[in-house]
Amino acid sequence: MKRVILSIFSIFMVLFYLPDLSFADNGILIDCDKSVIFTKRLNTSLKKLEVRLTKYDVNTPPALAIKEQIQQTQNRFTNYSNSSLMCGTDGLPHLITDGDLNHKGEFLIPGLIFLYITGWIGWVGRKYLQIIANSKNPFEKEIIIDVPLALNVMISGYLWPINVWSEFILGDFVSEN
């Protein structure tokens, strides 16, 4: 009886609480290169920098730094307008995370990189603890890290997905304790 109620509840949750479509499909977000507010933001930013630039002599270090900042601002806005980023009513680029592969560079790729790095950190920490567990004084090496050993483990940990899979297949991944 509990399984039937749980099944009905699960079906109800899936049917009535599906995520809404992203704003990009509803016309609220538009391409940044077509956004008037985005262009206005660019012009406002450049105007502020140019006003600051007039306060300094031509080839002084502050003037050169402001010129470089103007170039960086122009490059940033150009990159945003040339990419597939969508801008909202505020003129700022928004990330779309609705699963559309046209926007994979905004969330999917950085998300996978994040998962890889966090998995690497976890794997290296786990491996270090396994190695020092067999040492003379493991509690001391948890507090005072053996840096040469930790560096060796860190360098060898970049292939952690393969190591995880092989340990999982061999049955060594989960401890029996």
Share of the chain above pLDDT 90, in %: 42
Q: Which two tokens stand for residue 135?
A: 């040492």
Between 24 and 157, residue with greater pLDDT: 157
- Tokens 């004084």 correspond to what residue? 137
Rounded Cα–Cα distance for residues 152 and 107 (Å): 32
Give the per-residue pLDDT at 18: 59
Give the per-residue pLDDT at 47: 96
Half-sphere exposure of 81 (CA within 13 A, CB side): 17
Give the per-residue pLDDT at 22: 47
Give the per-residue pLDDT at 77: 93
Query: pLDDT band at 67, cuts 50/70/90?
Result: very high
Rounded Cα–Cα distance for residues 84 and 102 (Å): 8
Any idea what DSSP says for residue 58? Answer: T
Give the per-residue pLDDT at 115: 94
DSSP strand E in the chain: where? Answer: 30-31, 86-87, 93-94
pTM over 0.75: no
